[in-house]
Amino acid sequence: MNARFRFRIGSALAAMLLAGVAIEATTLTAEAQQEGRRRRRSDAQEAAPLELTPAQVAKLTEVANSRSLNMDDLLSAAKTFTPSGRHDEYVLFSSGGQSGQVFAFGVPSMRLLRSIAVFTPESWQGYGFGGDNDRVHEELMINGKPVLWGDTHHPGLSETGGEYDGQFLFISDKANARVGVIDLRDWETKQIVKNPLTISDHGGSFVTPNTEYIIEGGQYATVLGYGYAPIEDYQKSYRGMVTFWKFDRAKGRIDVSKSFAMELPPYWQDLSDAGKGASDGFIFMNSFNVEMATGGIEDGNPPFEAGASKRDMDYMHIIDWRKAEAAFGAGKVKMINGFPVIMLETSIADGFLHFTPEPKSPHGVDVTPNGQFMVVAGKLDPHVTVYSVAKVKKAIADKKYSGSDVYGVPILDFDSVMEAQVEVGLGPLHTQFDDKGYAYTSLFLDSAVARWTLGGEYEAKNPEQPWKLVTKTPVQYNIGHLAAAEGDSASPDGKYLISMAKWSVDRFLPTGPLLPQNFQLLDIGSTGTDMPVIYDMPVGVGEPHYCQMIKADKLKTWTVYPEIGWNAHEQRMDPKAPKSGSEGVTRDGTNVLVNMTAIRSHFKPEHVEVNEGDTITWRITSTETAIDATHGFCIGGYNINLSLEPSEFVEFTFVADRAGTYPFYCTEFCSALHLEMAGYLHVKPKGLTAAPALDSVQAGK
């Protein structure tokens, strides 16, 4: 082997190595390149640091004066105004109240991003307008009756380790005791479960720190399982309850077969919160009407409002849910209406249900971010009462009871578990938290948000004394819930706070006798008494109850479905989805199958000819892959409208029981030739022998 040959071999190897490295590097580069080109465009929008010249200050002053704005107004505007094209930092998921929907707003701009239909059919989203056997209608059936609305109350974002993970959103329907499951990849409702025990309830939907369970607490006691008993038998036959819906994260569904409930005394259970950190494993739940008043104002009895408010104390329910889960696992349940219920005697005997007194007709119970304290706001008591979970655990271990209620549930001694009481003002309802050791409580009667200091670990985080009121900011008017940025999670951000006012009275232009609610944005970024309202937003679409604010970058939202032919309900590619090139109309007896595709700016096929009385299964695939290239599909007169989002597949069925010529068209203005994106459903009348053949129509063209 001569030197020349060795050199050749060596250099060939070197070349291969070099080529390998280069290929590796350049393949990566090539992939990054296109992404880089896209980024280059969005980076160009960054604003340069601002320095106002005297001329600009004069201009600003002129505008401010012409609109009667003071410096605070200008600052508020600057804190909230979000320039065209800029995105918000947070997304606020709000209950839509009686609209049965969920609304999403951007914070701090307070712009409405979109609604999400849950309990109420909504035509823009094509939710519940997919023909005769629409899945939504079937899910909204209660006892064989379609109940097409909901009173949405409490949204609950899914959590991992007590932190919002941005994957799912749960929402409760108070009127009909239902929970909806929304997948935050496509912001669409995937499941609705109806509580089998009670017609209505209030305390949903709160999640355990890893979303093991979605908690749905009761409210107005009834006979469990939709039963009947005369009101005279209230104490004997009426019961409260709490339901633990098991969540299957991989499937994105509540697993009803692994869910269970606990029977509770007929106190009116209210809101709840799951313990986290130091209190992990507990559920804390308020109640009122431990008086067990039965009303009857028409018979001269005290009305509920008086009867249920007599006593100074009600009972906070303390539930060890892991022990409850074990009891359910061990089969210590009674089936009521086909649903497993842990009866009171089991909860008492196994020691996972305790009460402790709480003043007075409370509403909210909220666990501090570290899980060490529970804050109860008694709406008829000017204090918030703070309980220590360490003391609760000790009292349970030491059996430090002050007695038991008439059903035998042990009552933990109030003084042994209470940590502090802070006088905050009139009508305290709900509490949220920040990162500076402050708690924020809504004051319904004072129409204010109170900022007060927490103790324990939180004492060092702010200059004030622990357990003291710091300041109150008036809000307009009659505030219910409030929500701080990630303010009920394990690590609140301490940035923004939404005050959800029930009344707006004079805040906006009059809108007839039905007025919008008022969402007000408070800047809670500072300490001390600085806590201004910086935005008023009217919500004229229902009365929202609670909302949660999540950092926008936690959401991994799809803008286009991952594959063409996507079944959004199942979140997978559907083999039934018509493909481009396989469109057509086929008939099997009186069953007609339509395979259709939609892309700008045509449906294919454009003519569908059926006979009166045919059952039509209609499948449409949007073969679009561009962001926002959504099509609609409606058949007028047949109550059908679909939303065909990019790459989505939708199937619907209906009986063509009315003859005639029905134009169908795209209901989302999709393109310059959107109006041309149309076709005809020809329903030939029964008994028409010499039908005007479609061929002749086409021949006439």
Partner 1 sequence: MAKFFQHLIGPRVSPEEFRAHRIRYTAPTLMFMLARVLLLVSLFLPYWHMELEAPQYPNGLFLTAHVNNLSGDVREIDGLNHYIGMRPLGEAAAFERSVAIWAIIAMFLLVEGAAFIHSKWAVLLAIPAITFPVAFLADLYYWMRSFGLNLDPEAPLSASVKPFVPTVIGEGGIGQFKTYAEMGTGYWFAVACGVITVIGFFFHWRAYRGLYRRMITREHAVASMEAIG
Q: Which of residues 69-108 bind partner 1 (CB under 8 A)?
A: 85
Instruction: Please identify, using beta-carbon distances, which residue of 113 and 343 lies nearer to partner 1.
Output: 113
Distance CA 336, CA 234 (A): 18
Q: What is the 3-state secondary structure (H, E, C) of 216-230?
A: EECCCCEECCCECCC
# residues contacting partner 1 (CB under 8 A): 31
Cis peptide upstream of residue 205 (ω within 30 degrees of 0): yes
Among 13, 18, 63, 231, binds partner 1 (CB under 8 A): 18
Distance of CA 544 to the CA centre of its chain: 11
Instruction: Please identify, using beta-carbon distances, which residue of 22 and 78 lies nearer to partner 1.
Output: 22
Task: Order the strands of the 496-501 sheet from edge to edge.
Answer: 479-484, 496-501, 517-523, 533-539
Instruction: Please identify, using beta-carbon distances, which residue of 33 and 591 lies nearer to partner 1.
Output: 33
- Does 2 contact partner 1 by CB under 8 A? yes
- Does 52 contact partner 1 by CB under 8 A? no
Across 302-317, b (16+ Cβ under 10 Å) vs e yields bebeebbbebebbbbb
β-pairing, 566-567 with 648-655?
parallel
- Does 15 contact partner 1 by CB under 8 A? yes
Distance CA 74, CA 670 (A): 39
CB of 671 to partner 1, least distance (A): 8
CB of 628 to partner 1, least distance (A): 8
x-or-dash string of contact with partner 1, 22-41, rule CB under 8 A: xx--xx-xx--xx--xx--x
Instruction: Please identify, using beta-carbon distances, which residue of 27 and 511 lies nearer to partner 1.
Output: 27
For 201, phi then psi, to 5°, come to -160, 180
- Does 698 contact partner 1 by CB under 8 A? no
CB of 566 to partner 1, least distance (A): 15
Determine the interface stretch with partner 1 among 5-13, 61-69, 95-103, 266-274 (rule: CB under 8 A). 5-13
- Does 557 contact partner 1 by CB under 8 A? no
Q: Which of residues 397-436 bind partner 1 (CB under 8 A)?
A: none
x-or-dash string of contact with partner 1, 652-691, rule CB under 8 A: --------------------xx--x---------------
Instruction: Please identify, using beta-carbon distances, which residue of 280 and 624 lies nearer to partner 1.
Output: 624
Using alpha carbons only, how large is the chain's radius of gyration in Å? 30
Across 533-547, b (16+ Cβ under 10 Å) vs e yields bbbbbbbebbbbbbb
CA distances from 152 to 118, 172, 177, 499, 531 (A): 9, 5, 10, 18, 29
Longest dimension (CA), the chain: 118
Instruction: Please identify, using beta-carbon distances, which residue of 8 and 556 lies nearer to partner 1.
Output: 8
Question: Strand, coil or helix: what is 10?
Answer: helix
**Bridge partners of 115?**
103
CB of 616 to partner 1, least distance (A): 28
Distance CA 496, CA 522 (A): 6
Determine the interface stretch with partner 1 among 20-28, 131-139, 254-262, 429-437 (rule: CB under 8 A). 20-28
CB of 7 to partner 1, least distance (A): 7
CB of 18 to partner 1, least distance (A): 6
Instruction: Please identify, using beta-carbon distances, which residue of 23 and 335 lies nearer to partner 1.
Output: 23
For 587, the token pair is 């008939």
Strand residue runs (E) in 84-201: 90-95, 101-107, 112-117, 141-142, 145-146, 152-160, 163-173, 178-183, 188-194
Q: Which of residues 589-648 bind partner 1 (CB under 8 A)?
A: 599-601, 624-626
Instruction: Please identify, using beta-carbon distances, which residue of 502 and 600 lies nearer to partner 1.
Output: 600
CB of 579 to partner 1, least distance (A): 14
Q: How many CB atoms lie within 10 A of CB 177?
A: 27
Site for partner 1, rule CB under 8 A: 2-4, 7-8, 11, 15, 18-19, 22-23, 26-27, 29-30, 33-34, 37-38, 41-42, 85, 599-601, 624-626, 672-673, 676
